[in-house]
Chain A
């Protein structure tokens, strides 16, 4: 069968970084094609190339066998390629019907929008998706799942023969997921091809015919999904060898050096919408606990929930036996929890301030008296940390923007350490820094733990987790599926836990 939409050898760079590196992808008519990969694999870029948001630097886009160039999203839509995004991309203040028909409103013989007919048509269309709301209401007053359904109805109602779904279920309730799958089956019958992006294994295996795996901007694998064991799919996504995973098993009893000590951090049954369903974990002083799981499994959300930056539906966070007030980041920081966030550019570093200023930022209240900051005390603190963390800067007055990524990360680490935290949450502490600096940061984390700090480490790099953590908590779909201790902490066990999902508990 000739592909309905095809990318051949596409390459796309953003500022010297290859987001897509010679990727080819072919979509057959009527198939449901899963597109999977971890963070930075190139999924979003590939989708944006398919939908006319980006144009590839090299390579070709073919639509029904003919080479095409889409310069705007509207062109791809006119060609019959519709997209629904993870975040609902509709107009919240506009009516439900208005959103559904925006740009192709039914008109009367004077060319005016026929609202009565539009509302009636909208009601009929949406009823097919299980939405029985007043279509004249502003879209923003609907629940997120219902909004996603409207987006889906809109995407399908245009004469689409290709529908691209980017994590469509991430904000849906289980009942709505069933409706979505019903719609997908219906589309399947109508020979409409679907690109389905998701991290949820169960969904992929339930509805997808074939799968394409991307990793680091490169094409890894394309083939029928049903024949592919889950564990192989996971290992392809993560780039680890399957090897003798099954042989490892979990028979060996792990030793736990820290078992005797009382946990300083205890998170109990954290839940927040669909993203975090049930996460409990403990961290003892001097222990490095790793959080493992695929992208979207709730790792960063767990860290954010612990410091109070993610609104919780239920669950408690206990620090030294006392529970932290919900949703109060300042209180968490005061009690000794520090979060080194994943995106240090957006959530941490102030690039135009000096190393000194960046380090003391969080500790200013402690270093000042009556609002006046003592320069001498500042200098002492800054000097101590620059030496201890081996921060390479020409002087404490150098701008942080001029430092390397690894040294920026150390500056951030120093900032939190000088608030004297009891618990340190590290979200991808070595992302985007070079190999040498990586090893240094990892060594630092070990050192800090030996001195009695409790560390929760999040990383997408299996090696970093397995080497660095005393204990590993494995997450899947926002819930803990396994916990590995001591000698159980191996790559094979982690992969097996992710792939099987809960069965081993």
Chain B
């Protein structure tokens, strides 16, 4: 009992190992991205070429939009498996809607995918069902809907040449496609919402400790509904961008995209258990994934499937780090 009477206890210095683990977990993607880019720049002369960089940025922008929504969902402690299907569905709906003009092409996917996301959110928030099951159901539902409206994929809706909608995906500024700027703007906005609004604080609180959040008066149910709706809308929008870029609603895309999105979010330092994460980390995760893919393409002799091998290994490392951090808390 005498120990308590001595000087006020200092906060114990964080053990170095813990500090390293915590930095690796939060900034690992950024560090790895810098390393990988440096290596690629030196090893492959074509990597740094403007064409390659533009292509890299464009390819990253679609996944970034989907992963942005996923970041919000995962921070609330949830998961959204429907984004790949909604991405493909959004593309088809955009191409289909483009016959009635720009607005229809844009709004049709946003509304339909947003509505499916809203249903996801309502089911998760109001019935307490597991997000995994709810969104697995809408993955199947959206993929089925897509196959139904395209006669099992045999009908591909084309976007008429000269349609204003094509500009959205194909227009460029300084050689960079519009989708790059759109994705960047959305991520900036998303980061601001997450960090600097009461809604963002509710997202963190919901995922951090749901029961406590409820007792602290956080609108937990509304927050969950909002993030799943947001995820649906953003997936549909990514689909619309892709359709505009490809000039048609391609039905075979988006298979497994939900797993890509989840992995880049987690690689970017967002805790899979919820309560912590950043949009910037997610952007780094997307960049890392696509740069590795790009390098493998540059090597040429390597099977492109090695991209998944590398991503998988990296994801495993990140998740192990997260686990050790969460347990310590």
Q: State the A residues within 8 Å of B (CB).
A: 53, 72-74, 77-78, 83, 85, 89-94, 98, 102-103, 105, 107, 111-113, 115, 133, 138, 140-141, 143, 154, 173-175
Complex interface: chain A residues within 8 A of B185 (CB): none
Please encode chain B, from 1 to 27, with 1 for each CB lying within 8 Å of some chain A CB and 0 for all others: 000100011010000000000000000
Of the A-B pairs whose beta carbons lie under 8 Å apart in the complex, a sample of 30, sorted by A's number, is A72-B217, A73-B214, A74-B219, A89-B209, A90-B209, A90-B212, A90-B216, A91-B204, A91-B208, A91-B212, A91-B216, A93-B275, A94-B201, A94-B204, A94-B205, A102-B201, A102-B213, A102-B216, A103-B198, A103-B216, A113-B195, A113-B196, A113-B197, A113-B200, A133-B11, A138-B329, A141-B11, A154-B216, A173-B4, A174-B4
Q: How distant is the Cα of A313 from the Cα of B280 in the complex, in angstroms? A: 43
A105-B198, A105-B201 are contacts. A93–B217 as well, Cβ < 8 Å?
no
Complex interface: chain B residues within 8 A of A111 (CB): 197
Q: Pick the contact of A89 from B4, B192, B197, B216 — CB < 8 Å?
A: B216
Q: How distant is the Cα of A174 from the Cα of B9 in the complex, in angstroms? A: 13
Please determine whether A91 and B275 come into contact, CB atoms closer than 8 angstroms: yes
Please determine whether B204 and A93 come into contact, CB atoms closer than 8 angstroms: yes
Give the distance to chain A from B183, nearest Cβ to Cβ, in Å.
Answer: 22
Instruction: Say what secondary structure dominates the interface of chain B.
Output: helix
Q: Which of B204, B208, B211, B218 has the most CB of A within 10 A?
A: B208
Please determine whether B215 and A112 come into contact, CB atoms closer than 8 angstroms: no
Q: Does B321 contact A (CB under 8 A)?
A: no
A105-B198, A173-B4, A174-B4 are contacts. A89–B215 as well, Cβ < 8 Å?
yes
Give the distance to chain B from A438, nearest Cβ to Cβ, in Å.
Answer: 35
A103-B198, A113-B197, A133-B11 are contacts. A91–B209 as well, Cβ < 8 Å?
yes
Please encode chain B, from 267 to 311, with 1 for each CB lying within 8 Å of some chain A CB and 0 for all others: 000010001100000000000000000000000000000000000
Complex interface: chain B residues within 8 A of A107 (CB): 198
Q: How distant is the Cα of A107 from the Cα of B204 in the complex, in angstroms? A: 18
Please determine whether A74 and B217 come into contact, CB atoms closer than 8 angstroms: yes
User: Who on chain A is nearest to B273 by CB?
Assistant: A93
Please determine whether A93 and B212 come into contact, CB atoms closer than 8 angstroms: no
With A90-B216, A112-B196 given, name 19 new contacts (CB 8 A). Answer: A73-B215, A74-B217, A77-B217, A78-B217, A89-B211, A89-B216, A91-B204, A91-B205, A91-B209, A91-B212, A93-B204, A98-B204, A103-B216, A105-B198, A105-B201, A113-B197, A154-B216, A174-B4, A175-B8
Please determine whether A143 and B276 come into contact, CB atoms closer than 8 angstroms: no
Give the distance to chain A from B76, nearest Cβ to Cβ, in Å.
Answer: 12
A74-B217, A102-B216, A112-B192 are contacts. A94–B211 as well, Cβ < 8 Å?
no
Please determine whether B329 and A140 come into contact, CB atoms closer than 8 angstroms: yes
Q: How distant is the Cα of A78 from the Cα of B214 in the complex, in angstroms? A: 14
Give the distance to chain A from B41, nearest Cβ to Cβ, in Å.
Answer: 36
Give the distance to chain B from A305, nearest Cβ to Cβ, in Å.
Answer: 18
Please determine whether B218 and A89 come into contact, CB atoms closer than 8 angstroms: no
Give the distance to chain B from A341, nearest Cβ to Cβ, in Å.
Answer: 24
The size class of the interface chain B forms with chain A is: 20 to 34
Give the distance to chain B from A283, nearest Cβ to Cβ, in Å.
Answer: 27
Please determine whether B212 and A89 come into contact, CB atoms closer than 8 angstroms: yes
| Number of A-B residue pairs at CB separation under 8 A | 80
Give the distance to chain B from A279, nearest Cβ to Cβ, in Å.
Answer: 14
Please determine whether B218 and A93 come into contact, CB atoms closer than 8 angstroms: no
Please determine whether B208 and A94 come into contact, CB atoms closer than 8 angstroms: yes
Q: How distant is the Cα of A143 from the Cα of B205 in the complex, in angstroms? A: 20
Q: How distant is the Cα of A133 from the Cα of B9 in the complex, in angstroms? A: 12
A93-B271, A174-B4 are contacts. A103–B217 as well, Cβ < 8 Å?
yes
User: Who on chain B is nearest to A146 by CB?
Assistant: B11
A92-B208, A173-B4 are contacts. A85–B201 as well, Cβ < 8 Å?
no
Complex interface: chain A residues within 8 A of B11 (CB): 133, 141
Complex interface: chain A residues within 8 A of B202 (CB): 103
Please determine whether A93 and B208 come into contact, CB atoms closer than 8 angstroms: yes
Q: Which of B8, B200, B201, B271 has the most CB of A within 10 A?
A: B201
Q: Which of B216, B219, B275, B276 has the most CB of A within 10 A?
A: B216
Q: How distant is the Cα of A173 from the Cα of B205 in the complex, in angstroms? A: 28
Q: How distant is the Cα of A143 from the Cα of B11 in the complex, in angstroms? A: 8
Please determine whether B197 and A175 come into contact, CB atoms closer than 8 angstroms: no
Q: Pick the contact of A113 from B201, B208, B212, B213 — CB < 8 Å?
A: B201
User: Who on chain B is nearest to A73 by CB?
Assistant: B215
User: Who on chain B is nearest to A175 by CB?
Assistant: B4
Complex interface: chain A residues within 8 A of B275 (CB): 91-94
Ranked 8 nearest A-B pairs via Cβ: A74-B217, A91-B208, A93-B275, A112-B196, A89-B212, A93-B208, A140-B329, A93-B276
Give the distance to chain B from A312, nearest Cβ to Cβ, in Å.
Answer: 16
Give the distance to chain A from B329, nearest Cβ to Cβ, in Å.
Answer: 5
Please determine whether B208 and A103 come into contact, CB atoms closer than 8 angstroms: no
Q: How distant is the Cα of A424 from the Cα of B1 in the complex, in angstroms? A: 31
Please determine whether A98 and B201 come into contact, CB atoms closer than 8 angstroms: yes
User: Who on chain B is nearest to A107 by CB?
Assistant: B198
Q: Which residues 195-251 of B have a CB within 8 angstroms of A? A: 195-198, 200-202, 204-205, 208-209, 211-219
Complex interface: chain A residues within 8 A of B216 (CB): 89-91, 102-103, 154
User: Who on chain B is nearest to A134 by CB?
Assistant: B11
Give the distance to chain A from B296, nearest Cβ to Cβ, in Å.
Answer: 35
Complex interface: chain A residues within 8 A of B9 (CB): 143
Q: How distant is the Cα of A113 from the Cα of B193 in the complex, in angstroms? A: 10
Give the distance to chain A from B25, nearest Cβ to Cβ, in Å.
Answer: 12
Complex interface: chain A residues within 8 A of B196 (CB): 112-113, 115
Please determine whether B197 and A85 come into contact, CB atoms closer than 8 angstroms: no
Q: Which of B9, B202, B205, B217 has the most CB of A within 10 A?
A: B217
Q: How distant is the Cα of A91 from the Cα of B201 in the complex, in angstroms? A: 11
Give the distance to chain B from A92, nearest Cβ to Cβ, in Å.
Answer: 6
Complex interface: chain A residues within 8 A of B215 (CB): 53, 73, 83, 85, 89
Q: Which of A93, A98, A138 has the most CB of B within 10 A?
A: A93
User: Who on chain B is nearest to A78 by CB?
Assistant: B217
Complex interface: chain B residues within 8 A of A105 (CB): 198, 201
Complex interface: chain A residues within 8 A of B212 (CB): 89-91
Q: How distant is the Cα of A103 from the Cα of B202 in the complex, in angstroms? A: 8
Give the distance to chain A from B49, nearest Cβ to Cβ, in Å.
Answer: 40
Complex interface: chain B residues within 8 A of A103 (CB): 198, 201-202, 216-218
Q: How distant is the Cα of A113 from the Cα of B213 in the complex, in angstroms? A: 18
Complex interface: chain B residues within 8 A of A90 (CB): 209, 212, 216
Please determine whether B329 and A93 come into contact, CB atoms closer than 8 angstroms: yes
Q: How distant is the Cα of A141 from the Cα of B9 in the complex, in angstroms? A: 14
Q: How distant is the Cα of A415 from the Cα of B205 in the complex, in angstroms? A: 44
Please determine whether B329 and A102 come into contact, CB atoms closer than 8 angstroms: no
Complex interface: chain B residues within 8 A of A173 (CB): 4
Complex interface: chain B residues within 8 A of A83 (CB): 215
A77-B217, A103-B198, A175-B4 are contacts. A92–B329 as well, Cβ < 8 Å?
yes
Give the distance to chain B from A50, nearest Cβ to Cβ, in Å.
Answer: 13
Q: Which of B195, B205, B276 has the most CB of A within 10 A?
A: B205
User: Who on chain B is nearest to A75 by CB?
Assistant: B217
A90-B209, A91-B213, A93-B275 are contacts. A113–B4 as well, Cβ < 8 Å?
no
Give the distance to chain A from B48, nearest Cβ to Cβ, in Å.
Answer: 37
